[in-house]
Structure 1
Amino acid sequence: MQWGEARKHLTTYKGQTSYYTINEEVFKPNGFEIISASEPVPLLKSTKPKTCDQIFSSWLDIALKYNPPSSPPESIPLELIPEFTMNGHAVLTKGYHNDMAKPMPKTWNQIPAWLNLDPLTLSSYGVGGISVLHSIKYMNVTGMNGIVIGSVDPWVEVIALQSGANSLLTVEYQSTTILGESRVKWIHPYEYAKNWKEQKQFDFAVSFSSIEHSGLQRYGDPRDPIGDIREVQKVWCMLKKGGIFFLGLPRGQDQLVYNAHRIYGRIRLAMIFYG
């Protein structure tokens, strides 16, 4: 091991665990390997680098083979629990939601009115939502074209437009009709993945309270233990070189609240940060 003198243990659901064990039980099975026991999360390299073609093709293959049930499953098949919990290093708890996409499209007609509101009032996520505002302001997206990954209401889109963004593309499972604002467009994730080469690359991407759900079937998406990691990999392919990724995730001890969301600790974050 050539990881320097950094701390070689961290606390997981199994207790104090060596970086070596986490490397063998979590990172290597998922195509990563520790190259530095850095703080606050270990620095990884990919042992199985993929092209953007491979990233979108593998995701689309899983998605198109999936036949969603009438409602999301309430539990994980026993044989898949090790994959979903990083071989038991993440806590598994219950928190069931059924938020499958509705057959009728939703309509966003509120954007023109929201553009006149104080951006601090737009989000229902409290301090987390305010952090999105300040991050976008700080990085200055004026004149930039952005993509939003997952969006129930267009508060992120409005904040970006208020901050000077030129245009937004929203990638969302629920069919969405946008009225009164030509700078915001909608596309289904499947359509984007099929035609990703025809899409322009973006200056910035925003995902808040979205990627942590990926692969948990809450929204009718395919079951996938690494669905969140695949989403991050796709985002890097969507961005121009040097593009900005604004990512909001719940933090804490590594945990899977099935099927609601994941909570990100030092193990899962290391894989997310690599993408």
Structure 2
Amino acid sequence: MLRCAPLFLLAAACASAAAVTGDAVYRRDPWTLHDPGFPVEVDVAPSHDELWAVEHAEPLEAGADGVLRVSSSVLDVTVVLPDGVDTDDALVTMSLFEPSSSGEGDGTATTPSFEMSVDSQLQYVRQYRVELDPSTAGERFVLRVYVEASASRQNGTEAEEGGARLRAFYVRWVDLSPSEPRFLVCEQQQEAVHDASDATDGDEEEEEEDEEARVAVHPPANMPPGLCRRYTMDGRVPVRKWYFDDQTDADRSYGEEYSLEIIETLVEDARKHMVGYSATDAFLHEALKKYPLAGKHVLVVGSRGLPWIESLCLSQEAASCTTVARNRLIYDHPKLQTFTTAEFEDANAGRGSGKRFDVVFAVTTLASEGLGRTGDLLDPDADLKAMRELRDLSTPLCAEGKKEIMETTTVFLSVPVGPDTLVWNAQRHYGPLRLPLLLQDWELLDSFGFQKSDFTAPFTVNHLPLFVLQPSSSCAQEPTDSNESEGHAEL
């Protein structure tokens, strides 16, 4: 007789399995149902996260809700078939179900309602890489893995010897959200990584100092222990896990081309003061009323692909808009120009040799600098270095013997503000420790949405105010060997 798992989330799978395979269905664990002789093993874990595997090695405690809590937008789904199964014709179907508005969907309802958001049938391989939509953070969904294969076991049952189709279901709630913040003892982190890696031949400590070793095929799932003190400001900044892999292909292209028609639609939305494209939209609209862009040459630093900031510039009748991003962008619009970071650095090699910009936008992207998220080099101070580069770009050289000085560039900066937190590898949250460092050598002209009470909010709370900045000096001397900073913005 068919026996369903006590967790209600398997109820639908039980019914489906009964309809397809009859009553002879077995349960391998609380989340897996299978035909007799087909005990498929399915394991789901954050991608390339050895520490997570160690921390979650303990069996499920009695009374636990069984929800798989992951702080990663990329999962590794491992499917292990039993011996005697023909892997060549095995198929794996992965489906994601989201609680619909008509159902409770909170894990307590007897008959919740779901809507399928993803359904993909794949040829069998041992491990699959599943990329999730991070916009669903804080929400639960159901992951279903359905496996079907032909038996090829000799001296087995008649059905097995005849190559019968065997089936298995894995169904489980997944909670996709950042982990709770915790203060790290960096020495303990070093020990934990050594325990997890287990067979690294002791080379990691040497590699930590190797700049090239800080670039990986996939962004590191965990902060390198050798950089722990610098990333956490000597342990004063707590760490949360929220993992992304925004690397692109060998051509460093985001892969999506934005046509003239799409961009013009975005421009029209910008003219209507639409919000929802970014978390700082309302502040941007408010700031641009006070600091219009008409006739100005604009530089946008960093991008996640969608040309929303660029569309705001076009809606304001900016003379031109240039975007610099780590990866290649494809914007089909006569007033938009794009560069990769490497191309822009080549074009602007030498102090004062590059094009001058009236306005620079650095909205939301700077907070992830140096965390490896986009394939960038791991560097605990990359955000501070980026601000120094912006200052150099924004400050004209003093013209010797001339009183007339070029107008200083205005910078619109938006970073997550709240209690100081490192959210690995998504971004930093800037509080009373790091925000003053970020803004040193800048004059704060204005701010939109910023208030000091944000610093004392819970660690899980932050928002994106907008700062309007100019370099604290009206012009810059030729570069010297000194890197000391003297001024800072008053918050």
| TM-score, normalization by structure 2 | 0.41
Q: Tell me by how many angstroms 1:67 deviates.
A: 7.0
CA distance, structure 2, for counterparts of residue 66 and residue 141 of structure 1: 42
The answer to whether the 8 Å contact 2:327/2:341 transfers is no
1:108-147 CA-to-partner distances (Å, cap 9, x unmatched) read: 2121232223443264224x22212221231122111011
Matched residue, 1:88: 235
Q: 1:9-47 CA distances to partner (integer Å, 9 max, x unpaired)?
A: xxxx98xxxxxxxxxxxxxxxxxxxxxxxxxxxxxxxxx
Q: Show the counterpart of 2:329.
A: 176
Deviations 1:29-77 (A, max 9, x none): xxxxxxxxxxxxxxxxxxxxxxxxxxxxxxxxxxx95773221101112
CA RMSD of aligned residues (A): 2.1
Q: Which has the higher helix share?
A: 1
- 1:270 matched to 2:436? The reply is yes
Number of residue pairs aligned between Structure 1 and Structure 2: 212
Partner of 2:244: 97
Q: Work out whether residues 146 and 204 of structure 1, in 8 Å CA contact, stay in contact via their aligned partners in 2.
A: yes
Counterparts of residues 49-60 of structure 1 (less than 5 Å): none
Q: Percent of aligned positions with the same letter in both sequences?
A: 24
Q: Which residue of 2 aligns with 1:243?
A: 409
Counterpart in 1 of 2:359? 204
TM-score by length of 1: 0.71
SS class of match (2:268): coil
Q: Which runs of 5+ in 2 are unaligned?
A: 1-181, 184-210, 397-407, 442-491
State the match for 1:225 in structure 2: 380
Q: Does 1:135 align with 2:303?
A: no
For the 8 Å contact 1:122–1:155, the answer to whether it is kept is no
**Separation in structure 1 between the aligned mates of residue 435 and residue 324 of structure 2, nearest angstrom:** 23
Distance in 1, Cα, partners of 2:272 & 2:334: 20
Counterpart contact for 2:215–2:378, Cα < 8 Å: no
1:108 maps to 2:261: no
| Residues 201-259 of structure 1: per-residue CA shift (max 9 Å, x gap) | 21110011100000000111110101111111111222254211101111111110000
Q: Which runs of 5+ in 1 are unaligned?
A: 1-12, 15-63
In structure 2, C-alpha distance between the alignment counterparts of 1:106 and 1:160, rounded to whole Å: 21
The higher-RCO structure (CA 8 Å, 6+ apart) is 1
Match of 2:298 in 1: 146
Give the letter for the 1:108 counterpart.
Answer: Y
Alpha-carbon shift at residue 194 of structure 1 (Å):
2.8
**Pairwise CA distance, 1:195:** 2.9
Query: Do 1:201 and 1:240's aligned partners in 2 also have CA atoms closer than 8 Å?
Result: no
Amino acid at match of 1:172: A
Within the candidate set 135, 149, 155, 2:308 is matched to 155
Match of 2:346 among 188, 194, 198: 194
1:166-208 Cα shifts (integer Å, max 9, x gaps): 11110112211221x2111000112222332442121110011
Larger Rg: 1 or 2? 2
Provide the rounded CA distance (Å) in 2 between the counterparts of 1:155 and 1:137: 17
